[in-house]
Structures are given as structure tokens and as C-alpha cells.
Amino acid sequence: MVLIFKSTRVSLEKSVEKSELAGNAVTFLHEEDYLEQYKHPKIDAETTIDPGLRKPSDIGKGWHFCIDPYDTGLRQKWFKYKKNPNQPQDYDPFEGSDYSIPMVWNLTKPEWFYYEGSAWYSKTLKDPRNNFDKEKCDRLILEIGGASYSCRIFIDGVFVGVHLGASTPCSLDITEYIRFSEVSLMICVNNSRTRENIPATHTDWFNYGGIHRNIFLYQVPNHFIQRTIVRLTKDQNFIEVIVKMNKKNKLPIKAYIVISKLHTNKEFKIENGEGSVIIEKVPQLWEPSNPILYKVDIKAGNDFWQDNIGFRVITAKGQQVFLNGRPRRLDGISVHEDDLMNGRITSEEDIRQRFKHARELGAIFIRLAHYPHSPMVARIADEEGLLIWSEIPVYWTLDYENPNTVKDANNQLKELIRRDINRASIIFWSLANETADTDARINFLSILANTARSEDPTRLLTAACLINQETLQISDRLVEHIDVIGVNEYFGWYDPEIQDLELFLKHYKLNKPLLISETGADAVAGHHGNIETLMTEEWQANFFENQIKILKKYYGASGPLIGITPWILYDFRSPRRQREYQNGWNRKGLIAEDKTTKKVAFQVMADFYRGIHPE
């Protein structure tokens, strides 16, 4: 198919100051509602695609980059100007340093370390279809895996949309904007913290800025598979497949599904953009000890989609969690997506190292804190047989009464679920972390709970709830909306009385599973002393020994406690941590920030998970 468009490329002979685009020099400098024109259209969950195993074109190399502290580019509409070597300008989108995406600016130059604001990525694409079969390239989908926090996209001088959310994918059909053999692509990213954002202004991790995940182009036909859900039927006897196309089709589309390991080849119909089929075969269930995956091939019209999918059942009854009908103890660890050299940028090698350390610890369960991690994490966990808690950054104090904040959180949750719905390793969606129990917050989180259950009725909901420090009980009304109760407790560290942990566990009467979603103490790797000296490895190790003496009484079959995810696997950056031994780092890692040096406490937890308890 050949696409033909009329040219609308902007051609300007006037200087920047005299241009009608930005008004005269005085007007654009004093315009303070300039962002209003860049709030719509929104790029949200409705355009999210599940690419499965589609092969993309990686366009991450050769980007020009410039910070823009005063948003001059949006005020003055830099994206509309042609290059003019004879006109002095404060910014030229096609000059400047050459960078590759993924990239975070904080670790690129020392002076950008704490920079919060706008920055521009610019690139000229030489015929975006060059890497594809031009005869079959009906549509092009742009996917940005993660950009912190707002991401505004401009193609050949046209504003095509804005995406909000640092860690969920931004997917957009850009076909109608590709009008020339050379295409100007400009992306304005802004990581400013605001009260309205998810998360808001106050967090406990580093606010990296930039496009920190891959940027891809996908070739698809006019009618393409946008999302696919492959799971067990509600009665768990067979396999249910749901296919959603990018748009409603006037005539029915024939579709076929092949699962070769199950000797399945079945035809079904897609009408009005959606179709479903039941495969009357019983797959072998995915287990951590046997993470079996099935290759699923789906053809719908001219489109072809495939993925590797595991089938398993996760349920909660009483104070137990059951995986495939058997109670499961969740020995775990919490992890951040942070790196000494690369910040939020991760890789397959980094993820596999993380999982290797989790295995050495004896962990089978991983809490991904406090935002959606790279989609590679769950894919690799599927292969390696690890169980995952995945969450969105509803964290501490938000503007719960603001409808825009509700929309943002709800959209991020949808984008996360739609991105990862076929990953067997994910067993919990988490709605919030340490949020105070108010009427506005309960209304806010009840909306999210309803969204999660509507999008995915097969997984359990959880959250890190607050303990009432006076009564040592959970009085958080959020427990009515979730299936597994997470609690962050630091008895013996921030709360000095370690015996209060035992009182809390004795008082726990809820008929729902309980999971310690955080517990830990700071220690600097290599700093040694006795158990009475704060910030030493010995103090941290003793903290965990004291925790274990109490927790083991209530763990597994002997009590309501189904698991622990200590805080945290690796030390990570946190600007609010500024004591002498912290210097901008949260030092609660069982391993130092070099991701190599294990602290004494690592072995203490490893012994506990293997059944060796301190006396």
C-alpha cells in the first residue's frame, strides 16, 4: 500500500522573533498558559499495543539532545522552524550532542544531575519505512517504553500528542504524520514533580529524567492485533483467547490460533474489532520449579501475532495464597530499577544478574518497587520461574480529590495491566504504597481496584498498608478492596521497639493473607563494628536476626504470614537521604550499589529462607 499526503511542512522566511507562530519577541516570552495547547490529544491506554514478539525497528541511535529549563521550545514552537544557518537562534534541534536512547540526562553531565524540567530529543528519520517491507507497511506504530514524566511528540512540525507517566509505554499510530522521505521527529520530555502527578512531589527514590527505555517503530497492516489475552478459562479447564483489533471492521475477519505444543489449530471469527475462542485443551501449569511456556501464534486477516505464554492459577482463601491449588510461601526481596552507572536504564544482563542474586538469597518472589519496571523483567521472570508483585506509583501523599490525578493513576494502571497481562510470573497488582487512610484516598483507590478487576479478574490485588502505631493493628479501610495485605514495618529501626512486631502479629485477625512488603535497616558496605553501632553491617545483620526470631513463629502454616520482601536487594539513590553515611543513597540494600558486594545481612536472610534460624 502506498500512502500519499499533501505537504504541510512549515516553511518560514521570517526570523524567530517576527514569526506569526510564536508572536513577537515580547508576546511569547510573557505567555504563561502556553501548556494549554499541548494537553491534548492524550496518548493513553486506549492506544497501547501489546507487540508480543513482533520485530521492531530500533530508532534509538543518533538523537540530538538539549535541556530547556524555561520551556522556550514550547513557548516559541521550536518544532516548527526549518534550519537557517544565517539566523542566530538559542536552540537548533538538529545540532548539539549526539545521544542514544535509552538515556537519562542526570548521569550524562555533572551539571544535569539534579536537573528537573524540559529537554528535547530530535532526530531526522530517513524514510521510516526503509527497515520494513514497503509493500506491506500499511501503518507505523511508534512505541516509547518509558519517558519521565510527560512526553510530547512532534512530527514535521505537528504536535501529535502527550503521554503522562514515567514508566508505562507510550504507543501511537503515526502513519498519517509520515508525509516525506525525511521525517523530523522531536520529543519534549519533562520530569518536573507536581502535586498532580503520579507519583507526586515527595518520593524516596531518584527522579531520573529522560527517555529511559527503548524507542521502537513497528510495521503493521491497516487492521492489526492491538491486544491479546491468553489465559485459562474461569473454571480453569481450558484456554480462553481474546483478540482485540486496532479498530472495528465492517466485515468479519477470519482468525486462526496455533499452539503447537498442544497440537491446536483452530479457526475463529473477529467481528466489530474483537473475537474470542475457547481451546479445549489442558496445558501443563506454569510453576517456579517448572516454568513451562507455550508458543501461541495468532493470524487475523493480514496480521500475525505470537508470544510465549505460561498458564497458572493464583487464588487467595483465608490467610493463604494458593498457586495452582497449593498453598505458597513467598520468600522474597524488594528491588528498585536503579543502577550506579546507568540510573533507570536496565538491560537483560542487569535483570538476569538481579534474579541471580535473588536466587542466591533463596527468594522466589520479587516486589517491583515503586513503579512499573521494564517489560523485560516479567518476560525473564516467566522464563526463570520467579513470582512478581507489580505496582504503580500511588505513593505517599497525592492530590486524591483532583480528577486529573485520578485519571492519570487509572490510566497508568491500565497501561501496566495491558502491557503485561500475558505474563505468568505476575501474580499481584499493587494499588498503593503507604497512603494515609482518608475518605478521598479510599474513593480514589476503590476506582483503581475496580479498574484492575475489570481489566484482569485472574490476579490478586495488594497494597502496602499502614499499621496503626498506637493499637498495633491494621485499621486501613483499603483492606476491604484488596486480596493480600501488605505492610511495611521497621520495628527495631524507625520504630525502636522490636517486640511491637510480635504484638502486631498476635493482634492480626483479618481473614486475609499477610505479607511483610518492607522491612530493613541501613548499613554501609564495608563499615564494620559491633551490633550497637548504627550503619554497620553488624547492626543491620542483627536487625534481621531479631526480626527472624519473631517472624518465624507466624510464617507459613503456623500463622497468617505468607511472605517477606525485605527492603531492599541493592542500595539505590534517594536525594532525601542525607546523613553522613548515606550521602544521597538509601543504604538498606543487602548488596551495595555496585551490585556485587554482599553485606553480612544477605547471608542472614539466605539462611532463614533455607530453614536456618538464629537462636
Ordered DSSP codes for 531-585 = TTSTBSHHHHHHHHHHHHHHHTTTBGGGSSEEEE--S-SB-EE-TT--STTTSSE
Torsion angle, alpha carbons of 24, 27, 33, 37, to 10: -10
398, HSE (Cβ side, Cα atoms, 13 Å): 31
Q: Is the pLDDT of residue 9 over 60?
A: no
What would the mean pLDDT of 109-113 be, rounded to a whole number? 96
Distance CA 260, CA 63 (A): 42
Enumerate the β-bridge partners of residue 307. 296
Predicted confidence (pLDDT) per residue in 313-351, tens digit: 999 999 999 999 999 999 999 999 999 999 999 999 999
Neighbours of 519 (CB within 10 A): 23
Which SS3 state, helix, strand or coil, does residue 353 take? helix
Query: Cis bond leading into 380, ω under 30°?
Result: no
Distance CA 324, CA 338 (A): 33
What would the mean pLDDT of 560-576 be, rounded to a whole number? 97
What would the mean pLDDT of 172-190 be, rounded to a whole number? 90
Torsion angle, alpha carbons of 52, 57, 62, 65, to 10: -40
pLDDT of residue 21: 61
Q: Is the pLDDT of residue 198 over 50?
A: yes
pLDDT of residue 2: 33
pTM of the model: 0.94
Q: For 194-197, which contacts have Cβ atoms below 8 Å and span 24 or more sequence positions?
A: 195/398, 195/399, 195/402, 196/399, 196/402, 196/404, 196/405, 196/408, 197/149, 197/164, 197/405, 197/408
* % of the chain with per-residue pLDDT over 70: 92
Q: Is the pLDDT of residue 19 over 90?
A: no
Please check whether residue 286 is in contact with residue 312, taking contact to mean a CB–CB distance below 8 angstroms.
Answer: yes
Cell, residue 98 = 549526539
pLDDT of residue 614: 75
pLDDT of residue 1: 34
Q: Is the pLDDT of residue 14 over 70?
A: no
Cell, residue 368 = 517491583
Cell, residue 497 = 521497639
Q: For 607-614, which contacts have Cβ atoms below 8 Å and span 24 or more sequence positions?
A: 608/362, 608/544, 608/548, 608/552, 609/331, 609/361, 609/362, 609/363, 610/362, 613/548, 613/549, 613/552, 614/545, 614/548, 614/549
Cell, residue 568 = 531492599
pLDDT of residue 458: 97
Helix, strand, coil percentages (3-state) for the chain, rounded to 5, are 20, 30, 50
Instruction: Report residue 7's pLDDT band, with 50, 70 and 90 as the boundaries.
Output: very low
Distance CA 251, CA 256 (A): 16
For the ranges 28-37, 241-250, 541-550, the lowest mean pLDDT is seen at 28-37
Predicted confidence (pLDDT) per residue in 395-452, tens digit: 999 999 999 999 999 999 999 999 999 999 999 999 999 999 999 999 999 999 999 9
Query: Residue-wise over 218-244: b if at least 16 C-beta within 10 A, else e?
Result: bbbbebbbbbbbbbbeeebeebebebb
For the ranges 122-126, 277-281, 365-369, 595-599, the lowest mean pLDDT is seen at 122-126
Instruction: Give residue for cell 553491617.
Output: 537
Cell, residue 331 = 520468600
Taking alpha carbons only, the member of 204, 185, 212 closest to residue 107 is 212
pLDDT of residue 5: 33
Please check whether residue 189 is in contact with residue 381, taking contact to mean a CB–CB distance below 8 angstroms.
Answer: no
